Amino acid sequence: MILKIKTMKKIIVSVFSSCLILLSLNSSAQNVKEAEILPTKNYSKHGVGAVLSSSNGKGLAYRYWPKKVGIQVSFIPVASNNEKYYNAGVTGYARLKKYSVGELFMHVGCEYQYRTFERYDYWSMSSYYESYEIQSTGVNVGFGPGYHFELKPVSFDLFLGYGAYIRDESSDFENAELNDRTLMTLSGGFAVFLNL
């Protein structure tokens, strides 16, 4: 009788162990199948492209994003007869979460803007027009979430967030009407990069 109980215990332990091993193997195989279905993306580290954003810069851009954190720099010079516009921006990236079709990130951006343009004033008493040049400098700063996705060989970044915009106007003309201002509001932008 004691022999039968010992034998029964061995059989139960053997069956229980076999079930655990089978479940473990099945779980491992399922994880391999899921990994095959959702491959890990190996995003490109370097990219050149263009950005249009209210606080992450405007113009031609270069991005270096090797792992969790990255950086983007941008610049655009525009000049015509009486107007000039220069914009330079720097943005920092931090990856938050990867998905099968892209990834969520946080960004912090700062851009500097310099602009010259002609302003015209009309004096109604004398029907006289007066023109003068305005120099406007500004700084835009913003932060918030973004979304990055790739369609080989091109990648896209969408920016959302909150920003502060500061403008300072000056002129050599004594009676110039200047419009200095500060604004805090939602910010956003879009960037396209060719992956290198």
Give residue 26's region: left, alpha or beta (phi > 0; psi -120 to 50): alpha
Q: Is 171 helix (H, G, I), strand (E, B) or coil?
A: coil
Residue pLDDT, tens place only, 115-169: 999 888 776 776 777 888 899 999 999 999 999 998 889 999 999 999 999 999 9
Residue pLDDT, tens place only, 27-68: 444 444 444 444 455 567 899 999 999 989 999 999 999 989
The reported pLDDT for the residue numbered 127 is 74
Length of the chain: 196
Q: Residue 135, class by beta-carbon neighbours within 10 Å (0-12 exposed, 13-18 middle, 19+ buried)?
A: middle
Which segment of 19-23, 43-47, 99-103 scores lowest on mean pLDDT?
19-23
What b-and-e string marks burial along 72-95, b requiring 16 or more CB atoms within 10 Å of the CB? bebebeeeeeeeebbbbbebbbeb
Query: Distance of alpha carbon 181 from its chain centroid, rounded?
Result: 26
Whole-prediction pTM: 0.71
CA distances to 2, 7, 179 from 14, rounded to whole Å, are 18, 10, 85
